Amino acid sequence: MSETTATIPSLSLGTGHSIYKTTLLPAIQSAQHSVILITCFWSRSRTLDALNETLLKLSSSALQRGDGKKITVHIGFSSSSLFQKLFHTSSAAGQVYPPEVWTRKLGLLGEEDLGGLEVRVKSVFLWPFSVWHPKFVIIDQTRVFLPSCNVSWEDWFEGCVEMRGPIVEDFVKFWRQKWSGGEGELGGSAGDLSSVDEGIPVQGDAAVRLNDVPCKFLPSAHHRNPNFRLPWLQCAPPPATTLNLELLRLFTDARKEIFLQTPNVTSPPVLNVLLDALKRGVDVRITTSERLMILEQLVTAGTTTARCVRWLIKRHQRLSKRGPDEEAGLIKPGRLHISYYQPKVVTKSSITGGAEPVQSHLKLAVVDRHAIVFGSGNMDRASWYTSQELGVGFYSNELVAKTLEKLEAALEGRRKLLYDSEGK
């Protein structure tokens, strides 16, 4: 896990559609050489319609240049439907979609509409549970966006961080190793920041503007073996992926507080390390979802978030009843605060200007107000044991402060308290 740095111009919160509309699609439309768009789920939606419009404009811009050079566009996804996954190739090389099926199978514009673009589309999904879960967008090998949202119809609460600088090269290498399969070259130069100022300006609430932030690129490889154990047996250790190891290190080394916002909490290693942190006197605060993808939780974890957070609450209550005992080396347990995300009852969202987010899909981990991890990984069993994931860890008090400030404002009136050990 070698450290690198990133310049962070923007951090966006909203629904998937609003993040695409205000952040990702303007960046795609500004591309001069290449676009790489990786998403987990792909479906016909307002977001896909808007993406089609953007690709049409991008194609027109390329043709108007008159130099005969096309802009390369690589699209990768893992899941589009149950039928698609049932009949998907088991090869890690994935399935390439020829232009003649783009519109019928994917709802994408046809090749005849995109004459200024060189478009390649592929999907990767490995049975039984190995979804390729990352979501990222690379523009001209100089800018990268790490959203939590997919190209889909869900009006969920999402986030997106923009990065420039040396970290971009790690994303390009990851794409080449895991997604490209040697299919085509990219225009521009990885890590070349000479054209950064020519990108779209960052304005309004999304602006962050932090330079040379220390960070780590945190990939997590897929695993076909889910390592299920019977309920009365100890869970198998999670795969020693870069993302898993860094999260476990951060949680284990935490001294004051851990904050998690995650769609689900069903990973036994996460629950165990959080309980250990509470025993050390570390405060733990969680914002999660009460009923999001229940069937998926049962299939991949054999349990649900609701059951898992009740487990954590009960064990914290036992610790609290025992109380501190200095002679026995015991200290007061940390504060446990758990909330469920809930939508506001409004006609127009204050953070998106459109639909109100009905569920939270943001993935975020903050430790001691210094380290923060963004990415695709949830605190559920699927992300920790079988899915391919991708995250970035940043080590900056200023970035944490800016992020939490934005998040607290966006979540105002959108949380339902489940448990607070201090009753506040």
Domain span at 290: 216-420
Q: Which of 66-80, 122-136, 137-151, 334-348 has the highest mean pLDDT?
A: 137-151
Domain limit, last residue, from 214, 245, 273: 214
- The single-letter DSSP state of residue 282 is -
How many Cα atoms occupy the beta-carbon half-sphere of 95 within 13 Å? 19
Residues 221 and 199 in one domain: no
- Residue 418, H or E segment: strand 415-420
Which two tokens mark 257?
């507080």
pLDDT band at 194, cuts 50/70/90? very low
Percent of the chain residues past pLDDT 90, beyond the cut: 70
Residues 204 and 257 in one domain: no
Q: 3-state DSSP call for residue 20? A: helix
Residues 44 and 178 in one domain: yes
Higher pLDDT, 87 or 393: 393
Residues 285 and 404 in one domain: yes
Question: Model confidence over 16-50: pLDDT tens digits?
Answer: 999 999 999 999 999 999 999 999 999 999 999 99
The total number of structural domains in the chain stands at 2
Residues 228 and 184 in one domain: no
Nearest to 192, CA basis, from 163, 171, 162, 169: 169
Residues 172 and 247 in one domain: no
Residues 227 and 210 in one domain: no
Do 25 and 54 form a contact (C-beta atoms < 8 A)? yes
Domain limit, last residue, from 168, 195, 214: 214
Domain limit, last residue, from 181, 214, 247: 214
Residues 332 and 248 in one domain: yes
Q: 3-state DSSP call for residue 131? A: strand
Residues 240 and 348 in one domain: yes
What CATH code is carried by the domain that includes residue 286?
3.30.870.10
Instruction: Give Cα 56 distance to the centre of its chain.
Output: 27
Residues 209 and 220 in one domain: no
Which two tokens mark 370?
């210094």
Report the alpha-carbon distance of residue 371 to residue 404 in Å, rounded: 12
Residues 209 and 250 in one domain: no
Report the alpha-carbon distance of residue 303 to residue 347 in Å, rounded: 34
Helical pair 268-279 and 242-253, crossing angle rounded to 10 deg: 20
Residues 291 and 180 in one domain: no
